[in-house]
Structure 1
Amino acid sequence: MDRPRVVVVGGANMDLVAMAPKVPGPGETVVGTDFLTVAGGKGANLAIAAARAGGAATFLGAIGSDSFGVTLKARIAAAGVETSLVRVVYGASGVALVTVGATGEHSVVVTPGANTAFTTLTEAELSAVRAADVLVAQVEVPVETVTQAALAARAGGTRVILNAAPPGRLPTELLDAVDLLVVNEVEARALTGRGREDPAALLSLVPRAVLTLGAQGAWYGERDGGTAHIPAFKVDLVDSTGAGDAFTAALAVAWGEGRDLVDALRWASAAGAACARRLGASVSLPQRAEIDALFHGDGLVRDAG
Protein backbone atom coordinates (compact mmCIF):
# COMPACT_ATOMS: atom_id res chain seq x y z
CA MET A 1 0.00 0.00 0.00
CA ASP A 2 1.24 3.49 -0.84
CA ARG A 3 1.88 5.74 2.13
CA PRO A 4 -1.01 8.21 2.53
CA ARG A 5 -0.09 11.77 1.65
CA VAL A 6 -0.63 14.00 4.68
CA VAL A 7 -0.10 17.75 4.40
CA VAL A 8 0.10 19.73 7.63
CA VAL A 9 -0.52 23.49 7.76
CA GLY A 10 0.51 25.03 11.07
CA GLY A 11 3.08 26.58 13.34
CA ALA A 12 6.69 25.75 14.13
CA ASN A 13 8.55 26.92 17.24
CA MET A 14 11.87 26.26 18.85
CA ASP A 15 11.08 25.13 22.40
CA LEU A 16 13.67 26.28 24.94
CA VAL A 17 13.01 24.12 27.98
CA ALA A 18 14.57 24.72 31.40
CA MET A 19 14.09 22.24 34.24
CA ALA A 20 14.30 23.62 37.77
CA PRO A 21 13.28 22.75 41.35
CA LYS A 22 10.35 25.12 40.93
CA VAL A 23 8.92 27.68 38.53
CA PRO A 24 10.25 31.11 39.57
CA GLY A 25 7.85 33.80 40.74
CA PRO A 26 7.97 37.49 39.78
CA GLY A 27 11.48 38.90 40.23
CA GLU A 28 12.85 35.54 41.41
CA THR A 29 15.89 33.72 40.00
CA VAL A 30 16.05 29.94 40.33
CA VAL A 31 19.05 27.77 39.47
CA GLY A 32 18.00 25.17 36.94
CA THR A 33 18.89 21.50 36.72
CA ASP A 34 18.80 20.89 32.97
CA PHE A 35 18.14 22.60 29.62
CA LEU A 36 17.24 21.38 26.16
CA THR A 37 16.10 22.75 22.81
CA VAL A 38 13.35 20.84 21.02
CA ALA A 39 11.63 21.38 17.68
CA GLY A 40 8.04 22.23 18.57
CA GLY A 41 4.88 24.02 17.59
CA LYS A 42 1.72 22.03 16.91
CA GLY A 43 2.17 22.10 13.15
CA ALA A 44 5.71 20.74 13.26
CA ASN A 45 4.71 18.15 15.86
CA LEU A 46 1.78 16.97 13.73
CA ALA A 47 3.98 16.63 10.64
CA ILE A 48 6.67 14.68 12.53
CA ALA A 49 4.03 12.47 14.14
CA ALA A 50 2.41 11.74 10.76
CA ALA A 51 5.76 10.74 9.25
CA ARG A 52 6.59 8.47 12.17
CA ALA A 53 3.13 6.89 11.97
CA GLY A 54 3.76 5.90 8.37
CA GLY A 55 2.46 8.83 6.34
CA ALA A 56 4.20 10.69 3.53
CA ALA A 57 4.11 13.98 5.43
CA THR A 58 4.65 17.49 4.09
CA PHE A 59 4.88 20.53 6.35
CA LEU A 60 3.65 23.94 5.22
CA GLY A 61 4.62 26.76 7.56
CA ALA A 62 7.15 29.51 8.14
CA ILE A 63 10.44 29.76 10.00
CA GLY A 64 12.67 32.74 10.60
CA SER A 65 16.04 33.62 9.06
CA ASP A 66 17.75 33.10 12.43
CA SER A 67 19.74 30.10 13.64
CA PHE A 68 16.63 28.65 15.28
CA GLY A 69 15.00 28.50 11.85
CA VAL A 70 17.92 26.53 10.41
CA THR A 71 17.76 24.06 13.29
CA LEU A 72 13.97 23.76 13.14
CA LYS A 73 13.93 22.89 9.44
CA ALA A 74 16.77 20.41 9.84
CA ARG A 75 15.09 18.60 12.73
CA ILE A 76 11.71 18.45 10.98
CA ALA A 77 13.34 17.10 7.83
CA ALA A 78 15.39 14.58 9.82
CA ALA A 79 12.11 13.08 11.03
CA GLY A 80 11.21 12.20 7.44
CA VAL A 81 8.98 15.19 6.70
CA GLU A 82 9.07 16.94 3.31
CA THR A 83 10.19 20.53 4.02
CA SER A 84 10.96 21.91 0.55
CA LEU A 85 7.97 24.27 0.73
CA VAL A 86 8.69 25.62 4.23
CA ARG A 87 9.00 29.40 3.98
CA VAL A 88 11.92 31.32 5.41
CA VAL A 89 10.97 34.88 6.37
CA TYR A 90 13.33 37.58 7.53
CA GLY A 91 13.45 37.88 11.31
CA ALA A 92 12.87 35.63 14.28
CA SER A 93 11.44 32.12 14.30
CA GLY A 94 8.65 31.22 16.67
CA VAL A 95 9.99 30.47 20.14
CA ALA A 96 8.47 28.92 23.26
CA LEU A 97 10.21 29.57 26.59
CA VAL A 98 9.24 26.73 28.92
CA THR A 99 10.11 26.34 32.60
CA VAL A 100 9.28 23.00 34.21
CA GLY A 101 9.29 22.54 38.00
CA ALA A 102 10.18 19.35 39.85
CA THR A 103 6.54 18.43 40.47
CA GLY A 104 5.51 18.98 36.84
CA GLU A 105 4.19 22.52 37.11
CA HIS A 106 5.28 24.68 34.23
CA SER A 107 5.11 28.13 32.70
CA VAL A 108 5.25 28.94 28.99
CA VAL A 109 5.83 32.13 27.03
CA VAL A 110 5.34 31.85 23.27
CA THR A 111 6.49 34.45 20.77
CA PRO A 112 5.01 33.47 17.39
CA GLY A 113 7.65 35.18 15.25
CA ALA A 114 7.61 33.92 11.67
CA ASN A 115 4.35 32.03 12.18
CA THR A 116 2.40 35.29 11.91
CA ALA A 117 3.92 35.90 8.46
CA PHE A 118 2.54 32.64 7.03
CA THR A 119 -0.16 34.31 4.95
CA THR A 120 -1.63 33.88 1.45
CA LEU A 121 -0.63 30.43 0.27
CA THR A 122 1.38 30.19 -2.94
CA GLU A 123 0.27 28.11 -5.91
CA ALA A 124 2.89 25.48 -5.03
CA GLU A 125 1.54 25.25 -1.48
CA LEU A 126 -2.04 25.04 -2.72
CA SER A 127 -1.06 22.33 -5.20
CA ALA A 128 0.44 20.28 -2.38
CA VAL A 129 -2.82 20.59 -0.43
CA ARG A 130 -4.94 19.58 -3.41
CA ALA A 131 -2.72 16.56 -4.12
CA ALA A 132 -2.86 15.24 -0.55
CA ASP A 133 -5.08 12.49 0.80
CA VAL A 134 -5.58 14.35 4.09
CA LEU A 135 -4.97 17.94 5.18
CA VAL A 136 -4.32 18.45 8.89
CA ALA A 137 -4.56 22.03 10.12
CA GLN A 138 -4.48 23.96 13.38
CA VAL A 139 -4.59 27.66 14.16
CA GLU A 140 -1.15 28.65 15.41
CA VAL A 141 -0.89 30.45 12.06
CA PRO A 142 -3.36 33.09 10.78
CA VAL A 143 -6.85 31.64 10.50
CA GLU A 144 -7.20 33.16 7.03
CA THR A 145 -4.35 30.91 5.86
CA VAL A 146 -5.96 27.86 7.41
CA THR A 147 -9.25 28.75 5.72
CA GLN A 148 -7.54 29.14 2.34
CA ALA A 149 -5.92 25.72 2.75
CA ALA A 150 -9.18 24.06 3.79
CA LEU A 151 -11.08 25.52 0.84
CA ALA A 152 -8.35 24.34 -1.56
CA ALA A 153 -8.51 20.88 -0.01
CA ARG A 154 -12.27 20.75 -0.37
CA ALA A 155 -11.99 21.76 -4.03
CA GLY A 156 -9.36 19.10 -4.65
CA GLY A 157 -11.17 16.26 -2.91
CA THR A 158 -8.71 16.20 0.01
CA ARG A 159 -10.12 15.32 3.42
CA VAL A 160 -9.77 18.06 6.03
CA ILE A 161 -8.99 17.41 9.69
CA LEU A 162 -8.95 20.51 11.88
CA ASN A 163 -7.44 20.48 15.35
CA ALA A 164 -8.96 23.69 16.71
CA ALA A 165 -5.97 24.69 18.84
CA PRO A 166 -5.27 27.09 20.36
CA PRO A 167 -8.92 27.51 21.45
CA GLY A 168 -11.08 30.28 20.05
CA ARG A 169 -13.97 31.08 17.75
CA LEU A 170 -13.56 30.07 14.11
CA PRO A 171 -15.12 31.50 10.95
CA THR A 172 -18.07 29.65 9.44
CA GLU A 173 -16.26 29.55 6.09
CA LEU A 174 -13.53 27.40 7.65
CA LEU A 175 -15.84 25.11 9.61
CA ASP A 176 -17.94 24.48 6.48
CA ALA A 177 -14.83 23.05 4.78
CA VAL A 178 -13.93 20.68 7.65
CA ASP A 179 -14.61 16.95 7.38
CA LEU A 180 -13.49 16.05 10.90
CA LEU A 181 -12.94 18.31 13.91
CA VAL A 182 -10.64 17.20 16.76
CA VAL A 183 -10.83 19.15 20.04
CA ASN A 184 -10.25 18.78 23.75
CA GLU A 185 -12.71 20.06 26.34
CA VAL A 186 -11.23 23.56 26.51
CA GLU A 187 -11.37 23.89 22.73
CA ALA A 188 -14.90 22.48 22.57
CA ARG A 189 -16.14 25.02 25.11
CA ALA A 190 -14.53 27.84 23.13
CA LEU A 191 -16.49 26.75 20.06
CA THR A 192 -19.87 25.73 21.50
CA GLY A 193 -19.91 26.58 25.20
CA ARG A 194 -20.32 22.87 25.91
CA GLY A 195 -17.91 20.12 26.98
CA ARG A 196 -18.29 16.44 27.80
CA GLU A 197 -21.83 17.04 29.05
CA ASP A 198 -22.95 17.71 25.45
CA PRO A 199 -20.27 16.78 22.90
CA ALA A 200 -22.91 16.45 20.18
CA ALA A 201 -23.08 20.26 20.13
CA LEU A 202 -19.97 20.08 17.95
CA LEU A 203 -22.04 18.43 15.22
CA SER A 204 -23.91 21.68 14.69
CA LEU A 205 -20.63 22.99 13.28
CA VAL A 206 -19.09 20.04 11.39
CA PRO A 207 -20.25 16.66 10.03
CA ARG A 208 -17.85 14.62 12.21
CA ALA A 209 -16.19 15.46 15.52
CA VAL A 210 -13.86 13.96 18.11
CA LEU A 211 -13.72 15.17 21.70
CA THR A 212 -10.60 13.90 23.46
CA LEU A 213 -10.98 13.18 27.17
CA GLY A 214 -7.52 12.15 28.34
CA ALA A 215 -7.55 8.98 30.43
CA GLN A 216 -11.28 8.61 29.68
CA GLY A 217 -10.56 8.11 25.99
CA ALA A 218 -12.50 10.04 23.36
CA TRP A 219 -16.02 10.65 22.09
CA TYR A 220 -16.73 10.40 18.38
CA GLY A 221 -19.90 11.47 16.62
CA GLU A 222 -21.29 11.84 13.12
CA ARG A 223 -24.03 14.28 12.20
CA ASP A 224 -25.73 11.72 9.97
CA GLY A 225 -24.80 8.66 12.01
CA GLY A 226 -24.18 7.48 15.52
CA THR A 227 -21.66 8.07 18.27
CA ALA A 228 -18.91 5.93 19.75
CA HIS A 229 -16.67 5.89 22.79
CA ILE A 230 -13.02 5.31 21.98
CA PRO A 231 -11.31 3.72 25.01
CA ALA A 232 -7.96 4.90 26.26
CA PHE A 233 -4.92 2.63 26.43
CA LYS A 234 -3.51 2.07 29.89
CA VAL A 235 0.16 3.09 30.10
CA ASP A 236 2.54 4.41 32.71
CA LEU A 237 2.11 8.15 32.20
CA VAL A 238 5.36 10.13 32.08
CA ASP A 239 4.42 13.27 30.12
CA SER A 240 1.23 13.95 28.15
CA THR A 241 2.85 16.76 26.14
CA GLY A 242 2.46 15.95 22.44
CA ALA A 243 0.00 13.10 23.00
CA GLY A 244 -2.80 15.05 21.33
CA ASP A 245 -0.62 15.72 18.29
CA ALA A 246 0.33 12.03 18.07
CA PHE A 247 -3.38 11.14 18.25
CA THR A 248 -4.45 13.57 15.51
CA ALA A 249 -1.59 12.73 13.16
CA ALA A 250 -2.09 8.97 13.51
CA LEU A 251 -5.79 9.48 12.86
CA ALA A 252 -4.96 11.31 9.63
CA VAL A 253 -2.60 8.54 8.50
CA ALA A 254 -5.08 5.76 9.29
CA TRP A 255 -7.97 7.59 7.61
CA GLY A 256 -5.75 8.24 4.60
CA GLU A 257 -5.05 4.50 4.43
CA GLY A 258 -8.79 3.91 4.10
CA ARG A 259 -9.48 2.53 7.56
CA ASP A 260 -12.95 2.80 9.04
CA LEU A 261 -12.98 5.94 11.18
CA VAL A 262 -13.75 4.17 14.45
CA ASP A 263 -10.89 1.75 13.86
CA ALA A 264 -8.67 4.69 12.87
CA LEU A 265 -9.57 6.42 16.12
CA ARG A 266 -8.67 3.37 18.17
CA TRP A 267 -5.27 3.21 16.47
CA ALA A 268 -4.85 6.95 17.05
CA SER A 269 -5.63 6.38 20.73
CA ALA A 270 -2.74 3.91 20.87
CA ALA A 271 -0.47 6.56 19.31
CA GLY A 272 -1.43 9.14 21.91
CA ALA A 273 -0.84 6.67 24.74
CA ALA A 274 2.52 5.60 23.34
CA CYS A 275 3.63 9.24 23.20
CA ALA A 276 2.70 9.79 26.85
CA ARG A 277 5.17 7.14 27.97
CA ARG A 278 8.16 9.43 27.32
CA LEU A 279 9.27 12.93 28.31
CA GLY A 280 9.04 15.76 25.78
CA ALA A 281 6.92 16.69 22.78
CA SER A 282 8.35 16.01 19.31
CA VAL A 283 11.05 13.71 20.72
CA SER A 284 8.41 11.41 22.23
CA LEU A 285 6.19 11.05 19.14
CA PRO A 286 5.97 7.30 18.46
CA GLN A 287 7.07 5.29 15.44
CA ARG A 288 4.49 3.12 13.65
CA ALA A 289 5.87 -0.13 15.06
CA GLU A 290 5.42 1.18 18.59
CA ILE A 291 1.82 2.21 17.86
CA ASP A 292 1.06 -1.18 16.33
CA ALA A 293 2.60 -3.03 19.27
CA LEU A 294 0.43 -1.19 21.77
CA PHE A 295 -2.67 -1.42 19.55
CA HIS A 296 -2.40 -5.16 18.90
CA GLY A 297 -1.36 -5.85 22.45
CA ASP A 298 -4.67 -4.27 23.51
CA GLY A 299 -4.09 -2.66 26.92
CA LEU A 300 -7.38 -0.82 26.61
CA VAL A 301 -8.98 0.75 29.65
CA ARG A 302 -12.34 -1.02 29.80
CA ASP A 303 -15.59 0.65 30.77
CA ALA A 304 -16.89 -0.40 34.16
CA GLY A 305 -19.43 -3.18 33.87
Structure 2
Amino acid sequence: MTEHPRPALTIVGSINLDITATTERLPTPGETLGGGVLRRQPGGKGANQAVAAARLGGSSRMVGAVGTDGDGAALLAAMEAAGVDTTDVARVDEPTGTALINVDSHGENQIVVCPGANGTVSLDGVEFAADETVLCQLEIDLDLVVEAARKTSGYFALNAAPAMALPAELLERCDLVIVNETEYALIPALAEAKLVAVTYGGDGAAMFEHGVKVAEAAGFSVPVANTIGAGDAFCAALVLALRAGLGYGAALAAANAVGAAAVGDSSSQPPLEPLAHYIAATTVSA
Protein backbone atom coordinates (compact mmCIF):
# COMPACT_ATOMS: atom_id res chain seq x y z
CA MET A 1 0.00 0.00 0.00
CA THR A 2 1.27 3.47 -0.86
CA GLU A 3 1.78 5.65 2.22
CA HIS A 4 0.56 9.19 1.75
CA PRO A 5 2.71 11.81 3.51
CA ARG A 6 0.94 14.12 5.90
CA PRO A 7 0.44 17.60 4.39
CA ALA A 8 3.17 20.08 5.29
CA LEU A 9 2.21 22.65 7.90
CA THR A 10 3.95 26.02 8.03
CA ILE A 11 3.29 28.31 10.96
CA VAL A 12 3.84 32.06 10.69
CA GLY A 13 3.67 33.53 14.16
CA SER A 14 5.07 34.36 17.56
CA ILE A 15 7.88 32.80 19.56
CA ASN A 16 8.02 33.67 23.25
CA LEU A 17 9.74 32.75 26.45
CA ASP A 18 6.97 31.98 28.95
CA ILE A 19 7.79 33.08 32.50
CA THR A 20 5.07 31.47 34.59
CA ALA A 21 4.21 31.93 38.25
CA THR A 22 1.82 29.33 39.64
CA THR A 23 -0.18 30.35 42.70
CA GLU A 24 -3.18 28.96 44.55
CA ARG A 25 -5.34 31.77 43.16
CA LEU A 26 -4.92 34.77 40.89
CA PRO A 27 -4.10 38.10 42.59
CA THR A 28 -6.59 40.94 42.64
CA PRO A 29 -5.44 44.38 41.39
CA GLY A 30 -2.79 45.80 43.70
CA GLU A 31 -2.44 42.56 45.67
CA THR A 32 0.83 40.72 46.29
CA LEU A 33 0.67 36.92 46.65
CA GLY A 34 3.45 34.80 48.12
CA GLY A 35 4.25 31.14 47.75
CA GLY A 36 4.41 31.08 43.94
CA VAL A 37 6.31 28.54 41.87
CA LEU A 38 8.31 30.04 38.98
CA ARG A 39 8.99 28.31 35.65
CA ARG A 40 10.68 29.44 32.43
CA GLN A 41 9.68 27.50 29.34
CA PRO A 42 9.24 27.83 25.56
CA GLY A 43 5.98 29.42 24.42
CA GLY A 44 4.30 31.78 21.99
CA LYS A 45 1.21 30.77 20.04
CA GLY A 46 3.17 30.29 16.83
CA ALA A 47 5.92 28.18 18.37
CA ASN A 48 3.40 26.19 20.42
CA GLN A 49 1.48 25.31 17.27
CA ALA A 50 4.63 24.44 15.32
CA VAL A 51 5.88 22.12 18.07
CA ALA A 52 2.45 20.50 18.42
CA ALA A 53 2.31 19.89 14.66
CA ALA A 54 5.74 18.27 14.68
CA ARG A 55 4.92 16.05 17.66
CA LEU A 56 1.59 15.01 16.15
CA GLY A 57 3.46 13.71 13.13
CA GLY A 58 3.15 16.48 10.56
CA SER A 59 6.17 18.08 8.98
CA SER A 60 6.35 21.51 10.61
CA ARG A 61 8.08 24.72 9.56
CA MET A 62 8.26 27.89 11.66
CA VAL A 63 8.45 31.43 10.27
CA GLY A 64 9.16 33.97 13.00
CA ALA A 65 11.87 35.88 14.83
CA VAL A 66 13.82 35.71 18.07
CA GLY A 67 16.49 37.93 19.58
CA THR A 68 20.22 37.29 19.48
CA ASP A 69 20.08 36.78 23.25
CA GLY A 70 20.35 33.53 25.17
CA ASP A 71 16.57 33.16 25.34
CA GLY A 72 16.35 33.21 21.55
CA ALA A 73 18.98 30.50 21.23
CA ALA A 74 17.20 28.33 23.80
CA LEU A 75 13.82 28.69 22.08
CA LEU A 76 15.32 27.77 18.70
CA ALA A 77 16.96 24.71 20.24
CA ALA A 78 13.66 23.61 21.82
CA MET A 79 11.78 23.86 18.52
CA GLU A 80 14.49 22.02 16.62
CA ALA A 81 14.54 19.24 19.25
CA ALA A 82 10.80 18.78 18.66
CA GLY A 83 11.36 18.39 14.92
CA VAL A 84 10.47 21.90 13.73
CA ASP A 85 12.33 23.38 10.74
CA THR A 86 13.57 26.78 12.00
CA THR A 87 15.39 27.84 8.82
CA ASP A 88 12.98 30.78 8.43
CA VAL A 89 13.26 32.00 12.03
CA ALA A 90 15.28 35.24 11.97
CA ARG A 91 17.76 36.29 14.69
CA VAL A 92 17.29 40.04 15.19
CA ASP A 93 18.69 42.80 17.39
CA GLU A 94 15.63 42.94 19.63
CA PRO A 95 14.82 41.16 22.89
CA THR A 96 13.21 37.76 22.41
CA GLY A 97 9.44 37.91 22.92
CA THR A 98 8.34 37.22 26.48
CA ALA A 99 5.03 36.32 28.11
CA LEU A 100 4.50 36.95 31.82
CA ILE A 101 1.93 34.42 33.04
CA ASN A 102 0.16 33.84 36.32
CA VAL A 103 -1.66 30.51 36.62
CA ASP A 104 -3.85 29.42 39.52
CA SER A 105 -4.49 25.92 40.90
CA HIS A 106 -7.47 25.49 38.54
CA GLY A 107 -5.50 26.34 35.40
CA GLU A 108 -6.98 29.82 34.98
CA ASN A 109 -4.43 32.41 33.91
CA GLN A 110 -3.52 36.05 33.41
CA ILE A 111 -1.04 36.86 30.62
CA VAL A 112 0.95 39.93 29.60
CA VAL A 113 2.86 39.59 26.30
CA CYS A 114 5.94 41.68 25.48
CA PRO A 115 6.35 41.06 21.73
CA GLY A 116 9.99 42.11 21.31
CA ALA A 117 11.43 40.32 18.26
CA ASN A 118 7.96 39.18 17.20
CA GLY A 119 7.35 42.73 16.01
CA THR A 120 10.05 42.29 13.37
CA VAL A 121 8.79 39.10 11.68
CA SER A 122 9.13 39.39 7.91
CA LEU A 123 8.21 37.25 4.93
CA ASP A 124 11.07 38.58 2.81
CA GLY A 125 12.64 35.58 1.12
CA VAL A 126 10.00 33.16 2.46
CA GLU A 127 8.23 31.05 -0.14
CA PHE A 128 5.16 28.84 0.21
CA ALA A 129 4.76 25.79 -2.02
CA ALA A 130 1.57 25.42 -4.06
CA ASP A 131 0.28 22.59 -1.83
CA GLU A 132 1.54 24.01 1.47
CA THR A 133 -0.78 24.59 4.40
CA VAL A 134 -0.14 27.82 6.31
CA LEU A 135 -1.41 28.57 9.82
CA CYS A 136 -1.22 32.07 11.36
CA GLN A 137 -2.27 33.67 14.64
CA LEU A 138 -2.64 37.30 15.70
CA GLU A 139 0.32 37.67 18.09
CA ILE A 140 2.24 39.14 15.14
CA ASP A 141 1.44 42.24 13.08
CA LEU A 142 -1.95 42.00 11.35
CA ASP A 143 -0.52 43.40 8.10
CA LEU A 144 1.97 40.53 8.08
CA VAL A 145 -0.85 38.02 8.50
CA VAL A 146 -2.64 39.59 5.52
CA GLU A 147 0.60 39.37 3.53
CA ALA A 148 0.94 35.68 4.45
CA ALA A 149 -2.62 35.06 3.28
CA ARG A 150 -1.87 36.76 -0.04
CA LYS A 151 1.30 34.71 -0.56
CA THR A 152 -0.37 31.40 0.25
CA SER A 153 -1.73 29.58 -2.78
CA GLY A 154 -2.54 26.43 -0.80
CA TYR A 155 -4.67 26.05 2.35
CA PHE A 156 -4.68 29.06 4.68
CA ALA A 157 -5.87 28.78 8.29
CA LEU A 158 -6.07 31.50 10.92
CA ASN A 159 -6.26 31.17 14.68
CA ALA A 160 -7.89 34.57 15.28
CA ALA A 161 -6.39 35.10 18.73
CA PRO A 162 -6.13 37.48 20.40
CA ALA A 163 -9.47 38.73 19.08
CA MET A 164 -9.47 41.85 16.91
CA ALA A 165 -11.32 43.29 13.91
CA LEU A 166 -10.27 41.45 10.76
CA PRO A 167 -10.06 42.93 7.24
CA ALA A 168 -12.63 41.56 4.81
CA GLU A 169 -9.81 40.50 2.47
CA LEU A 170 -8.30 38.30 5.17
CA LEU A 171 -11.57 36.62 6.11
CA GLU A 172 -12.40 35.92 2.49
CA ARG A 173 -9.02 34.25 1.98
CA CYS A 174 -9.25 32.01 5.07
CA ASP A 175 -10.09 28.39 4.36
CA LEU A 176 -10.51 27.92 8.11
CA VAL A 177 -10.69 30.22 11.13
CA ILE A 178 -10.24 28.82 14.65
CA VAL A 179 -11.43 30.72 17.74
CA ASN A 180 -12.77 30.08 21.22
CA GLU A 181 -16.31 31.05 22.14
CA THR A 182 -15.26 34.43 23.57
CA GLU A 183 -13.31 35.34 20.44
CA TYR A 184 -16.23 34.23 18.26
CA ALA A 185 -18.49 36.66 20.11
CA LEU A 186 -15.93 39.48 19.85
CA ILE A 187 -15.53 39.15 16.05
CA PRO A 188 -19.07 39.42 14.58
CA ALA A 189 -17.75 39.16 11.02
CA LEU A 190 -16.94 35.50 11.65
CA ALA A 191 -20.64 34.72 11.25
CA GLU A 192 -20.12 35.24 7.51
CA ALA A 193 -16.84 33.33 7.21
CA LYS A 194 -16.60 30.22 5.03
CA LEU A 195 -15.56 27.84 7.80
CA VAL A 196 -15.07 28.55 11.51
CA ALA A 197 -14.18 26.13 14.29
CA VAL A 198 -15.26 27.32 17.74
CA THR A 199 -13.96 25.75 20.94
CA TYR A 200 -15.96 25.66 24.18
CA GLY A 201 -13.38 24.34 26.64
CA GLY A 202 -14.56 21.15 28.31
CA ASP A 203 -17.84 21.38 26.39
CA GLY A 204 -16.15 20.49 23.11
CA ALA A 205 -16.09 22.26 19.76
CA ALA A 206 -18.29 22.98 16.75
CA MET A 207 -17.84 23.83 13.09
CA PHE A 208 -19.79 26.60 11.35
CA GLU A 209 -20.20 27.30 7.64
CA HIS A 210 -21.34 30.90 7.07
CA GLY A 211 -22.71 30.98 10.61
CA VAL A 212 -24.58 27.66 10.38
CA LYS A 213 -23.44 24.82 12.64
CA VAL A 214 -22.54 21.83 10.49
CA ALA A 215 -20.69 19.59 12.98
CA GLU A 216 -19.79 19.30 16.64
CA ALA A 217 -17.80 17.05 18.93
CA ALA A 218 -17.98 16.55 22.68
CA GLY A 219 -15.18 17.57 24.97
CA PHE A 220 -13.31 15.56 27.58
CA SER A 221 -13.38 15.86 31.35
CA VAL A 222 -9.76 15.82 32.47
CA PRO A 223 -7.73 17.31 35.34
CA VAL A 224 -6.49 20.75 34.34
CA ALA A 225 -2.82 21.59 34.83
CA ASN A 226 -2.42 24.44 32.35
CA THR A 227 -4.74 25.74 29.63
CA ILE A 228 -2.14 27.90 27.82
CA GLY A 229 -0.88 25.38 25.27
CA ALA A 230 -4.08 23.38 24.88
CA GLY A 231 -5.73 25.71 22.37
CA ASP A 232 -2.56 25.78 20.28
CA ALA A 233 -2.36 21.98 20.25
CA PHE A 234 -6.03 21.89 19.21
CA CYS A 235 -5.33 24.26 16.31
CA ALA A 236 -2.44 22.21 14.96
CA ALA A 237 -4.36 18.97 15.33
CA LEU A 238 -7.50 20.28 13.65
CA VAL A 239 -5.65 21.65 10.63
CA LEU A 240 -3.63 18.45 10.20
CA ALA A 241 -6.74 16.29 10.61
CA LEU A 242 -8.74 18.25 8.05
CA ARG A 243 -5.87 18.26 5.60
CA ALA A 244 -5.50 14.50 6.08
CA GLY A 245 -9.06 14.15 4.78
CA LEU A 246 -11.09 13.68 7.95
CA GLY A 247 -14.66 14.97 8.02
CA TYR A 248 -15.55 17.89 10.23
CA GLY A 249 -16.91 15.86 13.14
CA ALA A 250 -14.04 13.37 13.20
CA ALA A 251 -11.45 16.15 12.89
CA LEU A 252 -13.02 18.08 15.77
CA ALA A 253 -13.13 14.94 17.93
CA ALA A 254 -9.45 14.18 17.33
CA ALA A 255 -8.48 17.81 17.99
CA ASN A 256 -10.52 17.79 21.22
CA ALA A 257 -8.61 14.71 22.35
CA VAL A 258 -5.31 16.42 21.61
CA GLY A 259 -6.42 19.53 23.50
CA ALA A 260 -7.45 17.38 26.47
CA ALA A 261 -4.04 15.72 26.50
CA ALA A 262 -2.37 19.13 26.40
CA VAL A 263 -4.43 20.69 29.18
CA GLY A 264 -3.33 17.95 31.56
CA ASP A 265 0.33 18.93 31.18
CA SER A 266 1.92 21.97 32.83
CA SER A 267 4.00 22.82 29.74
CA SER A 268 2.93 25.26 27.01
CA GLN A 269 4.47 22.79 24.53
CA PRO A 270 3.35 19.44 25.99
CA PRO A 271 4.45 16.02 24.79
CA LEU A 272 1.91 14.47 22.42
CA GLU A 273 1.32 11.14 20.69
CA PRO A 274 1.14 10.96 16.87
CA LEU A 275 -2.16 12.31 15.51
CA ALA A 276 -3.19 8.79 14.41
CA HIS A 277 -3.37 7.81 18.09
CA TYR A 278 -6.03 10.44 18.82
CA ILE A 279 -7.94 9.70 15.62
CA ALA A 280 -8.08 6.00 16.52
CA ALA A 281 -9.09 6.73 20.12
CA THR A 282 -11.96 9.02 19.17
CA THR A 283 -13.12 6.71 16.38
CA VAL A 284 -13.38 3.81 18.83
CA SER A 285 -15.16 5.92 21.45
CA ALA A 286 -17.61 7.24 18.84
- TM-score, with structure 1 as normaliser: 0.84
Q: Which residue of 2 aligns with 1:19?
A: 22
Structure 2: how far apart are the matches of 1:235 and 1:23?
21
**Alignment partner, residue 164 of structure 2:** 168
Are 2:6 and 1:7 aligned? Answer: no
Cα displacement (A) at 1:232: 1.4
- Equivalenced residue count is 283
- CA apart distance, 1:145: 0.8
The one-letter code of the counterpart of 1:184 is N
For the residue of structure 1 that corresponds to 2:73, the secondary structure is: helix
1:266-293 alpha-carbon deviations (Å, 9 max, x no partner): 2112111121222232135554365346
Q: 1:183 aligns with which of 179, 186, 189?
A: 179
| Mapped contact 1:49–1:286 kept (Cα < 8 A) | no
Question: 1:247·1:272 contact (CA, 8 Å) conserved in 2?
Answer: yes
Match of 2:227 among 207, 225, 240: 240
**Equivalent residue number for residue 221 of structure 1:** 208
For 1:103 and 1:271, the matched residues in 2 are separated by 19
Structure 1 residues 216, 287: closer, same or farther in 2, change over 3 A? same
2: CA distance, partners of 1:19 / 1:8: 29
Change (3 A) 1:246 1:225: same
Specify the code of the residue in structure 2 equivalent to 1:122: D
Structure 2 partner of 1:276: 263
Work out the percentage of aligned pairs sharing the same amino acid. Answer: 37
Q: Is the 8 A contact 2:216 2:252 kept in 1?
A: no
In structure 2, do the counterparts of structure 1 residues 99 and 286 end up closer, same or farther at CA, with 3 Å as the change threshold?
farther
Q: Which amino acid in 1 is paired with 2:51? A: I
C-alpha distance in structure 2 between counterparts of 1:160 and 1:66, whole Å: 32
* 1:266 has 2:253 as partner: yes
Query: Quick check: 1:48–1:285 contact (8 Å CA) kept in 2?
Result: no
Structure 2: distance between partners of 1:180 and 1:150: 12
Verify the 8 A CA contact 1:92 1:113 in the aligned structure 2. Answer: yes
The runs of 5 or more residues in structure 1 that have no matched partner are 193-200, 301-305
Question: Under a length normalisation based on structure 2, what TM-score does the superposition of the two structures give?
Answer: 0.89
Output the amino acid matched with 2:118.
N
Query: Aligned match of 1:74 in 74, 77, 85?
Result: 77
TM-fit CA distance, 1:23 = 4.8
Contact 1:237 1:277 in 2 (8 A): yes
Kindly indicate whether the alpha-carbon contact (under 8 Å) linking 1:6 and 1:132 is maintained by their aligned counterparts in 2.
no
- Check the 8 A contact 1:271/1:291 in 2, yes or no: yes
Q: What is the CA–CA distance in structure 1 between the aligned matches of 2:11 and 2:169, rounded to whole Å? A: 19
What's the counterpart of residue 122 of structure 1? 124
Give the structure 2 partner of residue 291 of structure 1. Answer: 278
Q: What is the 5 A alignment of 1:54-73?
A: 54-73=57-76
Match in the other structure for 1:198: none
SS of the equivalent of 2:270 reads helix
In structure 2, C-alpha distance between the alignment counterparts of 1:51 and 1:83, rounded to whole Å: 12
